[in-house]
Amino acid sequence: MGARRMAKGIGEFLMELVGEAVAEVILGLLACALLLSLGLIAYLSWSFSPRLTVAGAGGLSLFLAYGAWGAFRNPSKDRRRRGVAAVATGGFTLAAATAVFLFFYGSDCGCL
């Protein structure tokens, strides 16, 4: 009876270990693919038009700054986020989550 339970525990441990290893590899590959695609987008946009690339980066920075301001300010009770403020806050949240993901999983990427 004890040997069966011990064998079942070892089997569960091995399944969890393999599952975590596979998940780590998948997340690493996603981080590398995301880094490569962001680099490719930057390269292609710069080769198309450097001025438009700088203007687009500036506009995106302003949009994300507005989203950060909307995310961290103290909203009044009678006002809700609407329209552009909600989209900017969502864009900032998505960019922040992507940055955290790349910080944790893209730092050990072999593609750099």
Give the pLDDT confidence of 39-69 residue by residue, as tens digits: 899 899 999 999 999 999 999 999 999 988 8
Q: What is the pLDDT of residue 110?
A: 63
Listed by start position, the domains of the chain span 2-105
Q: What is the pLDDT of residue 4?
A: 81
Longest dimension (CA), the chain: 73
pTM of the model: 0.69
DSSP states along 41-81: HHHHHHHH-HHHHHHHHHHHHHHHHHHHHHHHS---TT---
